[in-house]
Amino acid sequence: MTDAAMVRSEETQKSQVDPETTERLIAEKHIGERIKRLRLKKSMGLVELGRHTGLSASFLSQLETGRVVPTLRNLARIAMVFSKDLSYFFDTEPQSMFRVHRRKDRVRLPQTGVEPPTYFFESLGYMVPDRHMDPYFAEFIPLAEHQEPKAHLHPGFEFLYVLEGELGLQHGEHQCTLEPGDAVYFDASTAHSYFCSAAKPASALIVTMHQPLPAQTVAPLRPAAPPAVQRPSATIPAAPAATEKH
């Protein structure tokens, strides 16, 4: 072998990717799982995907289970079927959100700006950064004599489910009394207030979605989910800044 041939041989060996490295990359990117998710999302079987890509169902099955390493050509065929760019299979997947909030770790806080407070609440989502909703557990105390509930409002929508007791709700011109098992969903940009309407405390789960209403439209019963998410205010449904520290 001539010197030039030896140099070319060494350069070829250096340019070749280690098969183990390739398989490790495929495994880390979960390419097989991504292919399967795309297929199932379209309710497509392996045989049907094979017809679209020109690949056999058995080969596609091996791709999804990681038993074979796909070529870029094969991935490109699959990506085109699902209108995806080839980079879809190599982009970093977003981390799935999962947070457990133990009861012993929660902080019980009083209603702000009212003395004595008419309710106490605990944030059930304070450990979740950039959350899209704010869940609370709230306990409502019977009103003192001559005490009036304090109304508040905020952008977005609110869902309330009564656990125990009787809970009064004032929403604009509407007023109702809710009992255990009753639920209500309403536009939170209208002034609203809660009050315990019996001699014993009432408790409820409250979930707020802090989303501004679309401009120049009537508030829908179901939010349109615009991209911006506003931070909670200081009253229910709003956890004060102290809850973010726990």
- Identity of the amino acid at 21: T
Tell the burial category of 95 from Cβ atoms under 10 Å away from its Cβ (0-12, 13-18, 19+): exposed
In the listed set 54, 89, 124, which residue is the last one of a domain according to the structure?
89
Helix 31-41 to helix 72-81 angle (10° resolution) is 20
Residue 126: its pLDDT value, please?
84
Same domain? For 149 and 39 the reply is no
pLDDT single digits (tens) 39-60? 998 899 999 999 999 999 999 9
Per the CB < 8 A criterion, the answer to whether 38 and 84 are in contact is: yes
Token duo for residue 90: 């190599």
Out of 52-61, 139-148, 157-166, 212-221, the most confident range is 157-166
Same domain? For 82 and 107 the reply is no
Per the CB < 8 A criterion, the answer to whether 162 and 184 are in contact is: no
Same domain? For 133 and 233 the reply is yes
Same domain? For 138 and 225 the reply is yes
In the listed set 55, 89, 123, which residue is the last one of a domain according to the structure?
89
Same domain? For 180 and 124 the reply is yes
Is the predicted pLDDT of residue 16 greater than 60, yes or no?
no
Q: Would the pTM of this model clear 0.85, i.e. be above it?
A: no
Same domain? For 135 and 237 the reply is yes
Considering its fold, how many domains does the chain have in total? 2
Phi, psi dihedral angles at 160 (to 5 degrees) = -135, 135
Residue 27: its pLDDT value, please?
62
The secondary structure element, H or E, covering residue 135 is strand 134-140
Q: What is the residue range of 13's domain? A: 3-89
Same domain? For 113 and 229 the reply is yes
- Of the two residues 176 and 28, the one the predictor is more confident about is 176
Same domain? For 118 and 168 the reply is yes
pLDDT > 90 in the chain, percent: 43
Q: Which residues contact 56 (CB under 8 A, 6 or more apart)?
A: 50
pLDDT single digits (tens) 199-222? 999 999 999 987 654 544 444 444
Same domain? For 37 and 75 the reply is yes
